[in-house]
Structure 1
Amino acid sequence: MLHALERAARNGVAVGAHVAYRDLAGFGRRDLDASPAELTGDVLYQLAAISGMARTVGARVSYIKPHGALYNRIAHDPVQAQAVVDAVVALDPTLPVLGLPGSEILRLAAAAGLPTRVEAFTDRAYTPEGALVSRRQEGSVIHDPAEVAARSVRMATERTVVAIDGSVVRLDPDSLCLHSDTPGAVGLARAVRDALEAAGVEIRPVPDAEDDAVAPASSPEHRVLPARDRRAL
């Protein structure tokens, strides 16, 4: 983690806190019924740790994006979502919080006065309801660079995604995520960046996002503010 922070600082990449359940063996991808107090403490511990490490290399944490099972759980669980919000407010109430559109975490973060950013996933399949398709289901992760790039441009300019059943789902994202643990992530990231720039999309780090950051599809210049979390460029 310190090596990643050093490289981020050296390359001017925004640093985000990717907090998760206390689940090292499962890489944070197993759902846990943590109590609100326990979850707040765990998230606060992780936030404080990465914030301190970032300072040692001249960087700073500039947004928070929960990971894995916690990310999915707090999209619909207000109790756990509030526990995460409480941790962020306690440490730094200026940190933007990333989450799925219409999620409990974004609703409660906004209610607490935290900046919020709607996130979309370029390499993940969506359900008709706008949720991510479970990784246990075939086709949940998209590997084709051309398809991922095309989805990214659509998300940035049309504000929508085609769900796994062919329906169109509106997302209105402020931030785009590409997972670095997806096989071929470096090639995917290059394809995405090339496609976004060719479409006139301006790429900025999360803290610079604005509510009206993306121009409507009829505009001659489309802009989106993708997150640089786990970016492989």
Structure 2
Amino acid sequence: MLRSFLLLLCLPFTLAAETVMDPARDRVIPVETHQPPNTDNCSTTALCPVALLSAGYGVSHTEYQFLVKTLNQAGYLVITVGHELATDPPLSVEGNLYETRAENWQRGADTLVFIRDYFKPKFTTFDFEHILLIGHSNGGDISAWLINHGAKFANHIITLDHRRVPLPRSLDVKVLSIRASDFPADKGVLPSRAEKQKYQDCVVTIANAKHNDMTDDGPSWLTEKIAQILAGHLAGKPCLENEKVKGQ
């Protein structure tokens, strides 16, 4: 936690923490908005990019500052979203998880739609029609679920070791999935070799990386490696041939 606080002190962007109310669902949603350090080039005729960041289950939406910093440096407005409330049912751990967790993913997808609609008129120089969805673990599942169920405003997804919901298979959606090494994804979640070639998807596995360490509280070598992969992807660099990259 101390490391996360120190990271926050060093970041060059504008931060606003708040809660917003979705009246249709009577749901309070914790969020943070992080503006990039330079918005001078953003205008209604030259919109700057937007990312909605979803945390892993049981992890605060404030625990991904290493991702926020990288996205901000690439010019993104980043909105981090807290999906889990104390009144929500626990995430299912039994049965067919694709079925039993659907209510959680749909609730999260509804939250992202609301957040997009809520903030769009507040940030008129940012592009809410071509959003990047990024999420760790269950946050990645929520992001994939939303795109798979027809969200037209998201054309880019980045997941950190999500394991349950299949990634979009579409030429219209850019895909990067950064994988840990300790747990496999469910069958069909990740694209096959042929699908990666067809859709130009990128899947990168970090050797020695652990699923639960992909937060600010993880080891610095891992957060730095993830940030490096993310920055390269955002800059348009070629995928690392979907091979394992060296970790620690």
Question: Whose helix proportion is higher, 1 or 2?
Answer: 1
The alignment's TM-score, normalised by the length of structure 1, stands at 0.40
Question: Whose strand proportion is higher, 1 or 2?
Answer: 2
The alignment's TM-score, normalised by the length of structure 2, stands at 0.38
